[in-house]
Chain A
Amino acid sequence: MAQVAIGLVNGAFYAMLSLGLSVIFGMLNVINFAHGAQYMMGAFAAWLLLGFLEVPFWASLVLAPLIVGLFGVVLERVLLKRLYHLDHLYGFLLTFGLSLVIEGLFRWQWGSSGAPYPAPITGATDLGFMMMPTYRLFIVVAALVICLATWYAIERTRLGAYLRAATENPTLVRAFGINVPRLITITYGVGVGLAALAGVLAAPIQQVSALMGTNLVLVVFAVVVIGGMGSILGSVVTGFGLGLIEGLTKLYYPPASNTVIFVVMAIVLLVKPAGLFGQTK
């Protein structure tokens, strides 16, 4: 049961991160490899806000994603937008390079050993079948709320309709009078902000370190591929599901826990190349 709980918490992070990746891929057609670095920046932003300005966790939960999202907006305006007419590979290489630069800079400034962030909620909650640290329970609930809110914004609001339409036919949406380039910039900013939000949530349970996003981003890519590129529901379901599978593998056959996700990915790709919830174009 404890492994299930840990799996759910990991799954919550997979879901939140793959959600942002999916939104960015669906709209910009860019594989945002810098997602892990942006997650790390979120955690660092919260840590620095606390250390220098004594900003409490709850305020950082809003402020850090805004700051990092703004950084994403600048990135999109200055660099990414020049690559949209090129192959996916260029966006991938650019963001991969950026993540190396960003992580390198943070390591150079703060080292790679990591710094602790005090937990904003202490204590444990009795779930009946197990005791779970209250903060971890909060993460799972927060991730669900975030995923639901994102889904709602995209599937049920006017702005979401613009986004869906612009994913299909940006030229026509623009010819209706919608400023599509600005919509793309905002989307990237929000996607990056989601990564940073996950980073802030992770800060109290992990060491805040320059490389905290490096390994995570690989797993998250597997989640996005399994769920189906660009599918929001796919990201969320697969994120939580794979977290659970990973947790259970740790329980029954620990050596395989690091690879099980990639085994699942290989099988899914063989059977359903577009991913579980993906649509073949």
Chain B
Amino acid sequence: MVEPLLKVAGLEAWYGESHVLHGIDFQIGKGELVTLLGRNGAGKTTTLRSIMGIVGKRKGSVTFEGHETVGQPSNQIARRGIAYCPEERGIFSSLNVEENLMLPPVVKPGGLSLAEIYKLFPNLEERKRSQGTKLSGGEQQMLAIGRILRTGASLLLLDEPTEGLAPVIVQRIGEIIRQLKERGFTILLVEQNFHFAATVADRHYVVENGKVIDMVDRASVQQSLGKLQAYLGV
């Protein structure tokens, strides 16, 4: 593999006193779609938050396009071209749909235009004057994904985008994630839903107790199915 877009090495993180990550190592090449799999509380969300710089304390190394980001505040990390879609979606209730979409500033050229985002998510255009939190769960998820596409960020961190959504919407989000990959976005996806993850990802990293304990690539998913199910406890 050529120089990876994102390289995480020996990443440790703390929330207050509790030591949550104990040395996460993995990397993503440009244009890849990689998932972090693992049980609840394994440290997947914390890994994303640590890459973004929004945990209490971090140690180790996270390099993006060759630049070390541990030690930088989250606003500077975002400016380098990393965008984050949180598990709780983080739609702002005091902003309407379009204001929510327009909120993240453009950090680099090459992002989608508002028209392209509306083409991808027609529901959002119909409801652009509605209060952000009045949308359905699926629409809020689409809004949370849509708003980070405008910024020109090349690496998207998506935290459980299918959580709590109806199967037909999960399918729709799967299609959108595939389209984004085709457009050249690099995506780091945290998923509980392995079947969903298996259909979209190039590689899977398994996280347990704050460490990456295994890696399975697309080609060997079938042979490793038993092993993966044991890891995930399904």
Q: Which residues of A contact B (CB under 8 A)?
A: 158, 161-162, 164-165, 167-169, 171-180
CB distance from B91 to the nearest CB of A (A): 9
Q: A164-B94, A180-B75 are in contact. Are A174 and B104 (CB under 8 A)?
A: no
In the A-B complex, the 7 residue pairs with the smallest Cβ-Cβ separation, listed nearest first, are A177-B78, A176-B104, A164-B94, A172-B90, A175-B74, A165-B92, A177-B79
Residues of B within 8 Å of A180, CB to CB, are 75
Q: A161-B102, A176-B105 are in contact. Are A169 and B90 (CB under 8 A)?
A: yes
Residues of B within 8 Å of A168, CB to CB, are 92-94
User: Is there contact, CB below 8 Å, between A165 and B54?
Assistant: no
Tally of chain B residues near chain A (CB < 8 A): 26
| Alpha-carbon separation in the docked complex, A108 to B153 (Å) | 57
User: Is there contact, CB below 8 Å, between B92 and A174?
Assistant: no
| Alpha-carbon separation in the docked complex, A164 to B75 (Å) | 17
| Alpha-carbon separation in the docked complex, A62 to B84 (Å) | 41
Query: Count the A-B residue pairs with Cβ separation under 8 angstroms: how many?
Result: 59
User: Is there contact, CB below 8 Å, between B75 and A161?
Assistant: no
| Alpha-carbon separation in the docked complex, A177 to B84 (Å) | 10
Q: A161-B99, A165-B103 are in contact. Are A176 and B151 (CB under 8 A)?
A: yes
User: Is there contact, CB below 8 Å, between B107 and A175?
Assistant: no
* B201 located at the interface, meaning its Cβ lies under 8 Å from any Cβ of chain A in the complex: no
Residues of B within 8 Å of A171, CB to CB, are 54, 74
User: Is there contact, CB below 8 Å, between A176 and B78?
Assistant: yes
Secondary structure of the A side of the interface?
A: helix
User: Is there contact, CB below 8 Å, between B73 and A174?
Assistant: yes
| Alpha-carbon separation in the docked complex, A78 to B154 (Å) | 37
* B53 located at the interface, meaning its Cβ lies under 8 Å from any Cβ of chain A in the complex: yes
Residues of B within 8 Å of A176, CB to CB, are 75, 78, 83-84, 103-105, 148, 151
| Alpha-carbon separation in the docked complex, A172 to B48 (Å) | 13
CB distance from B143 to the nearest CB of A (A): 13
User: Is there contact, CB below 8 Å, between A175 and B102?
Assistant: no
Chain B residue nearest to A169 in the complex (CB): B90
CB distance from B13 to the nearest CB of A (A): 15
* B95 located at the interface, meaning its Cβ lies under 8 Å from any Cβ of chain A in the complex: yes
Residues of A within 8 Å of B76, CB to CB, are 177
| Alpha-carbon separation in the docked complex, A162 to B75 (Å) | 13
* B52 located at the interface, meaning its Cβ lies under 8 Å from any Cβ of chain A in the complex: yes
Residues of B within 8 Å of A178, CB to CB, are 75, 105
Of the A-B pairs whose beta carbons lie under 8 Å apart in the complex, a sample of 29, sorted by A's number, is: A161-B99, A162-B103, A164-B95, A165-B94, A165-B95, A165-B103, A168-B92, A168-B93, A168-B94, A169-B92, A172-B90, A173-B103, A174-B73, A174-B78, A175-B53, A175-B54, A175-B75, A175-B77, A175-B78, A176-B75, A176-B83, A176-B103, A176-B151, A177-B76, A177-B104, A177-B107, A178-B75, A178-B105, A180-B75
